[in-house]
Structure 1
Amino acid sequence: MCIVLLTTAHPSYALIVVDNRDEFILRPTSRPHWWTSVPEKHTDLRETQEVLSSRDLQRAEQGTWLGVTKDGNIAVLTNYRETNTNDSAHPVHGTRSRGGMVTAWLGANPHEKVSDFVSRMLGGGVGNVGGFSLICGKLRPKRHGDSGQKALEPLAIISNRNDSVDKVPWICEERGQVYGLSNTCYGDPNTWPKVEIGERLLSEAVKKAVDQNLDEEGLMDELFKILDTDTLPQQPDMAFEDCIATLKHSIFIPPIGDEHHKSAMERARARGKIEQFDEATEELRKEERPDETSMGFETGMYGTQRQTVILVDWEGNVTFRERALWNKHGHPIARPEGDMTFRFKIDGWEDGRGSML
């Protein structure tokens, strides 16, 4: 039950993105790093993308849930919570990775317009994928109207619950706004409580940062406080499936699971004394996932695994910070010992290429 919150309300930043990845804590996942992606059907090295992201090591595609490129492509994904296992048009687990939808944009030809990518994906590029929403776009400034007010090129929200290009939402073009998305469709009239809470807290954090003239580290602290907001209604001995239904109420998800989830965590921690994590993970897979056709990874406890904050200022400077809350053996990491921070300037931010739509 991941959540992503975005705002254009801070005067010093073109865009702020905060994100919680909620997942099975033992799911093999890399730390953020730079890697090179070559667009499909292209061999010209000038068309490669330098991508900054963590990567999901469970699926062959090694996709991700969030990333940004040196050229300014940005993408963030949330799953759509499927509940009807008999709906063949919307599988719970598709044969293709949702994370591959993120890398499809992060690794796209850097000259491809966002609108063309949206059309290409909705024209058949999202088939055989479990339900998802993808926020994607090119980080570029634009002149907004006759006032000359600074603004960003808008970001699109693609969903395989919507095959109509003209119904795709576009966000983040207007200043002073806050947006939230979790595991339902964007614009769902039944807004999830965690999204309402997140949008309110993000507005308050930006106001505090401006009023108190907080520096970047002070702002970061306020944003990570939002991602740590735990309002999950729990009852003793609540079954895992019953817990899942309550996750829409909390931004942060503490570790939840039944006895077999807890036992798997304890075994992983015991094996943590052995540094060969891949070997330990394979043993867990054999014990917990005897059916190799399963497309899920449901070993160990479930909860908020990673937290990310992205700041983009008006000079095109990006600060990307990911906070790991658990190590690869399932041991908790004290905040902020699991932080990794990257800073870079977006190529082409000031080159005057105009609209990326």
Structure 2
Amino acid sequence: MCIIFFKFDPRPVSKNAYRLILAANRDEFYHRPSKLADFWGNNNEVLSGLDMEEGKEGGTWLGISTRGKLAALTNYLQPRQDRDARGRGELVTHFLTTDMDSLSYLKKVSAEGHLYNGFNLIAADLSTEKGDVVCYYGNRGEPEPVVLAPGGSIPCSFFQLRDGGTYGLSNALLETPWRKLCFGKQLFLEAVERSQELPKDALIAQLLHVLNNDEACQIQLLRTRAGSMCSPF
């Protein structure tokens, strides 16, 4: 299962603190072809890995641009996949190349969410001038995207920050307390708490250590009346 942890703090108290720390694992079949993370050949502003699966070429699951746009995607666990649905990886690539802001883009995506199998999408605009904005939308959750922001300065629905603006996302909706998510988030928090005292390379090594943790966290999946999968743990 894919998993993403991130800490978002647009106005850190310390000048040595990071505005965003993100760690993500992509859980995919080894035989599925993909390109390693690199700047795109036709667009040297965007850095990401790329899906090379036939019919899904050019999609991605995590990327960032030199213009401060960032997007990350996880699939939503569901019992059956619609083979005719659109490729979800395009949701990330389209945002990284559009001029739309993150909230406007996710509102557009929410209107087309039924065209895709289940997904979760994080979209962010990182700007020291305008202020950082991080948004979330899942097409198996609320109908409108939400803005993740401290203090709720943006007039729309949003989740209040918890654990100092730290979030976990796997193959259910944002912050769904699956055992592996709670376990991994605690490890991530421990690494992040030391971020100001560690050199950058050491922090990266700590985050990779978190992502490489192989402790099994058993989950019991239940099928809901709507046909989706959930876990009570």
TM-score tier after normalising by the smaller chain length: 0.7 to 0.9
Judged with a 3 Å threshold, the aligned counterparts in structure 2 of structure 1 residues 172 and 13 are, in CA distance, closer, same or farther, namely farther
Cα distance in 2 for residues equivalent to 1:121 and 1:51: 20
Partner Cα separation in structure 2 for residue 65 and residue 207 of structure 1: 27
Q: 1:28 aligns with which of 18, 29, 33?
A: 33
- The one of 49, 54, 58 equivalent to 1:54 is 49
CA deviations on 1:216-248 (whole Å, 9 max, x unpaired) are 1111111111001111269xxxxxxxxxx9xx9
Sort the Cα spacing of 1:140 and 1:163 in 2 relative to 1 into closer, same or farther, 3 A.
same
User: What's the CA shift string for 1:47-88, capped at 9, x where partnerless?
Assistant: x782110101004342000000111110000000011x3xxx
Once residues 140 and 23 of structure 1 are traced to their aligned partners in structure 2, the CA distance between those partners, rounded to angstroms, is: 32
Q: CA deviation at 1:128?
A: 2.4
- Correspondence for 1:193: 179
The number of equivalent residue pairs is 205
Aligned counterparts, 1:124-273, within 5 A = 124=112, 126-141=113-128, 152-162=131-141, 164-165=143-144, 168-171=145-148, 173=150, 176-188=164-176, 191-210=177-196, 213-232=197-216
Instruction: State the partner residue of 1:95.
Output: 85
Give the Cα–Cα distance (whole angstroms) in 1 for the partners of residues 212 and 3 of structure 2: 12
Deviation at 1:107, TM superposition (A): 1.7
2:105 aligned with 1:117: yes
1:107 aligns with 2:97: yes
SS of equivalent residue, structure 2 residue 27: strand
**SS of the residue 2:34 aligns to:** coil
Detail structure 1 runs of 4+ shifted over 6 Å in the superposition: none
How far apart in 2 are the matches of 1:225 and 1:182? 18
Question: Amino acid of the residue matched to residue 87 of structure 2?
Answer: S
Bigger shift: residues 156-165 or 171-180: 171-180
Structure with the larger RCO, 1 or 2 (CA within 8 Å, 6+ apart): 1
Question: Structure 2 vs 1, CA of residues 93 and 201 (structure 1 numbering), >3 Å: closer, same or farther?
Answer: farther
% identity of equivalent residues: 31
Q: Which residue of 1 aligns with 2:4?
A: 4
Match of 2:69 in 1: 73
Contact 2:34 2:49 in 1 (8 A): yes
Asked if the contact 2:72–2:121 (Cα under 8 Å) also holds between the matched residues in 1, the reply is yes
Partner of 1:14: 19
CA RMSD of the aligned region, Å?
Answer: 2.8
Counterpart AA for 1:14: R
- Paired residues of 1:8 and 1:16 also in contact (CA < 8 A): yes
Q: What TM-score do the two structures reach when normalised by structure 1?
A: 0.52
Instruction: Give, in angstroms, the shift of residue 142 of structure 1.
Output: 6.3
Q: Deviations over 1:172-211 (max 9, x none)?
A: 54693211000001143xx11111112211111122333x
Opposite residue 180 of structure 2, the aligned amino acid is K
- SS of the aligned residue for 2:50 comes to coil
Structure 1, unpaired ranges of 5+? 38-47, 86-90, 144-151, 235-244, 250-357
CA distance, structure 1, for counterparts of residue 180 and residue 82 of structure 2: 22
